[in-house]
Amino acid sequence: MTFADRILLSWGWRRRAIGFLAGAAGAAALPPLDVFPALFITMVTSIWLIDGCVHGAKSNGLRSLSLRHSAWAAALDGWFLGFGYFVAGLWWLGSAFLVEADKFAWAIPFAVAGLPAVLACFTGFGFALARVVWSDGPGRIFALAFGLGATEWLRGYVATGFPWNSFGMALGGNVVLAQPAAYVGLYGLTILAVVIFAAPACFWDIGRNGKRNWGMGLFGLALLGLVAGGGALRLSFATDDVVPGVKLRIMQPNLPQDAKFRADNKEEILQHYLSLSDRATSPQTTGVADVTHLIWPESAFPFILSRDAATLSRIGAFLGQSTLLVTGAARVEEHRAGRLIGEMDISYFNSVQVLKPGGEIIATYDKAHLVPFGEYVPFNEVLENFGVRHLVHIPGGFEAASTRRALNVPGLPPVSALVCYEAIFPGEAVPAGERPGLLLNLTNDGWFGATSGPYQHFAQARLRAIEEGLPLVRAANTGISAVVDSYGRVWRSLPLNVEDVLDAALPRALPSTFFSDDPVTGPFLLLSAALLLAFIALLLRN
C-alpha cells in the first residue's frame, strides 16, 4: 500500500488528524519561516483526501459515494485541514488579549481556536466545490484550484473580509515568486499556488496502462519554474530611481502596548518621540532638520492631539522651518445629537494627520476599514450584554470613514494612506479612480509582541506594493518599519522590537500595473480557466 493509499483509505479520527496536521504543515510556508515548499504537503494531502471522499474511504476497500454525500465528506475533510492551517498560522492573535489579561484573557480561546474554526468553513466549502467538478486524473488539480480559489476570494469579502494568510502568500512572501501579483493579485497567486503545490500528487497516479502519470506533476513544477523565471525577468528591469528632493525619516519608538501607554505618561512619551526623531544617523543627517518628512506610526498619542494646543505648538517648534510630520493620531468630531442646547454626539476616528512647521494640522485621513472587535464591536447593542467589548480605549469604539481618499502631503506625490489592517486587502489599497504616488502604511503591531503576526502583516503590505506598482513607506510602533520599492524590494528596514530611526529616499512609482487598472479580470480569468479545465476533464472521464 502506497503512502497516498494510506491517506485515501484513512477514516475516523486518523483521517481528521491527517487533515489537521497537513494544514498545520502548510503554515510553515508563511512568514517568518517562508518555507514555501511546505505547501506541497497541504495541497497534495488535499488531493488524496478528496479522492478518498469520492470513493468512500473505508478500511475494507473502496465503494462509490453519491455526489451529495461525498461533497459533505469533502467539506468535513477540508474543514479539518483548514482548521490546522489557520490555528498554526494565526495562533499569535491570542497575544493581543494578554496586554490587559485581567479584562480580555477569557477571549483567547475564541481568537486562537474560534476564528480559525470559522475561517476553516471557507476551506471546507472549497473542498465541496472542488468535489462537484472532481474527476480521476490530472483534471482534479484544476478542480481543487477552482474550489479553493473561489472560496479564498469569498473570504476576502464576506463579513467585511479577512484575507489574511491566503494560500497565495506561499508565493507572495517571496519577492521573486510574488511578481505575478502585478497582473493577478493575491487571489490569482492563490490559484497558481494550488496548481503548483497540488500537481505532484499526480506522481502517485497509476494510469489505465499500469504506468505512472508524470505529465501533470511535471507541469506543476514547470509552472513554478515559469513563475520564478518570469519574476526574475521582471525584477531585472527594476531601477533605483527616486523622487527628487524627498528625504524621509521613519521613527520606530518600540513602545510597549501596556499600561505605560496612557495619558498620564504623555510627557515621557512625547519626549521619547522627539529625542528619537532628532537622532543623528550620519554626517549628512544630523537630526530632523535634515529631512523633509518625518513619519510616526499609528495612534502615536494616548490623547487627542488636535485638542492639545501645547503639544501641537511644541511639535511645531521641533519641526523647524521645512520638515513636515505625518503621524497616526486619534481624532474626535462633535455633531449635534438633538434639539437641546449642548446635546452633542462624539465620534472618534483612527486617523493620519499632517502637521506643518508651527504645529498646524493641514491634512487628515480617517481609516475606512476597521478591525472587528479590535476597533469596534459588530452588533454592539447585543454583544455588550455578554461583556464583549473592543480592545481600544475609545468610548463606543472608532467610527469608519465613509470612503477612502488620497492624502495630500506637501512635497510628496499623492498618498494612499493605509492604517494598519487596511493594508491586507488586495484591490483596495488605493482610492477608487485615483492613482497615488505611494502607499503609506502606519501601524501598531505592538499588540502581538515577538510573534509571527508582525512578519505576516509586513509581507501582505509589501505585496500591495507589487500589485499596485507603488512604493510602500511603512512606520510601525514596534516594527517592521521599512521603505519598499514598486517591485516589492526592501530598500531599508528596521527589525522587530528595535528602537531606532530609518532614513531613506522615496522610490519612484511605476506606471499603473494590469492589476491596479483592473483588479478583477486577472483572478477571474485564472478561476474560469481552472473551472473550464476541471469540467472538460470531468466530461472526458465520464
pLDDT at 59 (0 to 100): 39
Res. 101 pLDDT band, cuts 50 70 90: low
Q: What is the pLDDT of residue 62?
A: 46
Q: Please compute the mean of the pLDDT values over residues 66-83 and round it to a whole number.
A: 91
User: Does 64 fall in a domain?
Assistant: yes
DSSP secondary structure letter of residue 211: S
Which pLDDT tens digit goes with each residue over 491-521?
999 999 999 999 999 999 999 999 999 999 9
Same domain, yes or no, for 149 and 124? yes
| Cell representation of residue 238 | 527594476
Beta-strand pair 61-62/293-295:
unpaired
| pLDDT for the residue 176 | 98
Shared domain check, 461 and 420: yes
Specify the 3-state DSSP secondary structure of 87.
helix
- pLDDT above 70 coverage of the chain, percent: 88
Q: For residue 131, what are the contacts with CB-CB under 8 A and spacing of at least 6?
A: 50, 53, 54, 67, 70, 71, 74, 143, 147
Cβ atoms within 10 Å, residue 338: 9
Are residue 180 and residue 283 in the same domain, yes or no? no
Burial of 321 per CB tally in 10 Å (0-12, 13-18, 19+): exposed
Look-up of cell digits 528596514? 493
Q: How far apart are CA 61 and CA 69, in angstroms?
A: 17
pLDDT given for residue 299 in this prediction: 85
| Same domain? 19 vs 113 | yes
At residue 98 the predicted structure's pLDDT band, cuts being 50, 70 and 90, is low
pLDDT surpassing 70 at residue 123: yes
Q: Same domain for 151 and 268?
A: no
List of residues 6+ apart from 71 with CB closer than 8 A: 53, 128, 131, 132
Tell me the residue range of the domain where 347 lies.
248-507
Q: Is residue 514 part of a domain?
A: no
Residue 365 CB coordination number (10 Å): 29
DSSP calls for 214-275:
-HHHHHHHHHHHHHHHHHHHHHHT----B-TT--EEEEE----SSTTSSGGGHHHHHHHHHH
CA atoms within 13 A on the CB side of 87: 18
Strand 57-58 relative to strand 324-336, pairing: unpaired
Q: What mean pLDDT is predicted for residues 159-163?
A: 90
Q: How far is CA 287 from CA 178, 244, 256, 397, 492, in A?
A: 36, 20, 25, 37, 18
What mean pLDDT is reported for the chain? 89
Please tell me which of 63-72, 100-109, 146-155 the model is most confident about, judged by mean pLDDT.
146-155
- pLDDT, tens only, 224-276: 999 999 999 999 999 999 999 999 999 999 988 665 567 788 899 999 999 99
In a shared domain, residues 407 and 533: no
Both 367 and 323 in one domain: the answer is yes
**Would you say residue 298 lies in a domain?**
yes
Q: Residues 342, 434: one domain?
A: yes
pLDDT at 527 (0 to 100): 98
Per-residue confidence band for 78, with pLDDT thresholds at 50, 70 and 90: very high
Whether 367 is catalytic is yes
Indicate the pLDDT class of residue 58, thresholds 50, 70 and 90. Answer: very low
Residues 291 and 174 in one domain: no
Please, what's the largest Cα pairwise distance for the chain?
88
Q: Do 163 and 209 have their domain in common?
A: yes
For residues 179 and 171, what is the distance between their CA atoms, to the nearest angstrom? 9
478 part of a folded domain: yes
Q: Could you say which of 247, 420, 428, 467 is catalytic?
A: 420
Q: Average pLDDT for residues 190-197, to the nearest whole number?
A: 98
| pLDDT of res. 376 | 64
Length of the chain: 542
Summarize the confidence of residues 155-166 as an average pLDDT: 93
d(CA 294, CA 277): 8
Quick check: 25 pLDDT over 80?
Answer: yes
Buried b (16+ CB within 10 A) or exposed e, 305-319: bbebeebbeebbebb
d(CA 464, CA 442): 14
- The pLDDT of residue 54 is 82
How far from each other are the two terminal CA atoms of the chain, in whole angstroms? 27
CB under 8 Å to 385, separation ≥6 — which residues?
none
At residue 41, the pLDDT reads 97
Same domain, 42 and 128: yes
515 located within any domain: no
**Is residue 95 within 8 Å of residue 449, measured between CB atoms?**
yes
Residue 44 has pLDDT above 70, yes or no: yes
Q: Is residue 512 part of a domain?
A: no
- Report the CATH number that the domain containing residue 295 is assigned in CATH: 3.60.110.10
Give the integer Cα–Cα distance in Å for 273 and 253.
7
Q: What are phi and psi of 209, to 5 degrees?
A: -85, 5
pLDDT band of 177, cuts 50, 70, 90: very high
Catalytic residue among 152, 298, 428, 468: 298
Q: Grid coordinates representing 127?
A: 473542498
Position with higher pLDDT, 464 vs 213:
464
Helix (H) or strand (E) holding 101: helix 101-104
In this predicted structure, the answer to whether residue 414 has a pLDDT above a threshold of 70 is yes
Model confidence pTM above 0.85: yes
What count of Cα atoms within 13 Å lies in the side-chain half-sphere of residue 379?
6
Average pLDDT, integer, range 474-495: 96
Please report whether residue 379 resides in a domain: yes
Q: Which of 362, 350, 441 is nearest to 398 (CA)?
A: 350
Same domain, 233 and 252: no
Q: Is 202 a catalytic residue?
A: no
| Residue 325 banded pLDDT, cuts 50, 70, 90 | very high
Count of beta carbons in the 10 Å neighbourhood of residue 342: 7
Which neighbouring-strand residues pair with 333? 347
Residues 308-333, mean pLDDT to the nearest whole number: 93
State residue 432's pLDDT score: 86
Number of domains in the chain: 2
Where is average pLDDT lowest: 160-174, 314-328, 357-371, 382-396?
382-396
From the candidates 152, 202, 247, 367, which is the catalytic residue?
367
Q: Is 420 a catalytic residue?
A: yes
Q: Of 330, 258, 261, 303, whose CA–CA distance to 97 is shortest?
A: 258
Question: Per-residue pLDDT for 156 more than 80?
Answer: yes
**Integer CA distances (angstroms), 80 to 63, 197, 266, in order:** 23, 19, 48
Nearest alpha carbon to residue 273 among 212, 348, 328: 328
- CA of 224: how far to CAs of 6, 43, 193, 498, in Å? 28, 14, 9, 36
Residue 421: phi and psi, rounded to 5, are -60, -25
